[in-house]
Amino acid sequence: MTMPKVFVTRHILESALDTLAAHADIDLWPDDQPPTPAQLREKSSDVDGLLTNIMDRIDSDLLDAAPRLKVISQLSVGLDNIDLAEVTRRRIPVGYTPGILAKSTADLTFALMMAAARRIGESERWVRQGNWQLAHHPMHWLGIDIHESTLGIIGMGQIGQEVAKRARGFDMNLLYYSKTRKPELESLHSMQYRTLPNLMKECDFVSLHIPLNEETRHIISEPQLKMMKPTSILINASRGPVVDPEALYNALNEKWIYSAALDVTEPEPIAPDSPLLSLDNIIITPHIGSAALPTRLNTMMLATRNLICGLNGDILETCANTEVYQSQSE
């Protein structure tokens, strides 16, 4: 019996590949650089399933080129690279990986927060440059305390909630902004709701944990940054385009805010000549929010199981467009 064929657009851990190999014939993209749209269309032309990454654009052109496609399994929570409405219209289930990434991403959020507040990146570079000539000086490398400060969380999904849990360990005062109020979480985490302008004005730290869509694109731009305290810090571990990079550069360069820490940028990867890279009061990491080995393995295994379910005609373990099953049953 011929096994279904799948295209895997990035190398994944061997245990996940071995699991998938028992159920499908695998075409594995060999390069670190992602396939171009034309290459992705070509590779998809005779496959039954795709295991994709956030850099793979899934749109009508791709779907037109993939007549056999039965299932798409995305190796992330975010789905802004997928035209979900069009995929759903064609009754193709889309798997994604919610829940697994939240704790690791929250851990990194706090790492970024602490590094920015205590100037870890700046001072570490200073030491490497051979500048540490005096053992101690009480006025050198003064930063900002995290404990007992006020943290504003924008977006109260799974990652935002995990950040709130960690903040309680630092005795932080917690405020949040979300599209809808969440009274049960306010009580659980001792949080208070604020409108976005009020949150920006009141907080010492502002941490972004929202999906990218037309409503959230550049939700943080010049007006919001000018509302922040000059001693405040912005952290973004969600999606790069939720922050206007030009406005952020101006905010940091002109000292509207104290500093920023980003795990995501617009664009990705950030251009080597980006003005942001010329600043000392910013930390940028290369989208490593979930880059912990146990988390990545769990993510890959869930994505693999979703793909296998779709190939077998079963309901996906975690499906982003469950309407496809409702349509099939009507």
Question: What confidence score (pLDDT) does residue 315 get?
Answer: 98
C-alpha span between 136 and 85 (Å, rounded): 60
**126/326: higher pLDDT:** 126
CA 119 to chain centre: 23
Summarised one tens digit per residue, pLDDT across range 252-306 is 999 999 999 999 999 999 999 999 999 999 999 999 999 999 999 999 999 999 9
C-alpha span between 160 and 233 (Å, rounded): 17
Q: What confidence category does residue 1 fall into, taking pLDDT thresholds of 50, 70 and 90?
A: confident
Residues catalogued as catalytic: 239, 268, 287
Question: What confidence score (pLDDT) does residue 286 get?
Answer: 98
pTM reported for the whole predicted model: 0.90
Q: Which CATH class is domain 5-99+293-329?
A: alpha beta
The sheet that has 173-177: what strands, in order across it? 191-193, 173-177, 150-154, 205-208, 233-236, 259-262, 282-284
102-284, superfamily in CATH? NAD(P)-binding Rossmann-like Domain (3.40.50.720)
* Residue 171: φ, ψ to 5°: 55, 40
Over range 214-237, report the average pLDDT: 98
Contact criterion met (CB below 8 Å) for 10 and 33: no
CATH 3.40.50.720 residue ranges for the chain: 5-99+293-329, 102-284
Summarised one tens digit per residue, pLDDT across range 98-118 is 989 999 999 999 999 999 999
Summarised one tens digit per residue, pLDDT across range 31-44 is 999 999 999 999 99
Strand-pairing partners, residue 153, are: 176, 207
Residue 327, pLDDT above cutoff 90: no
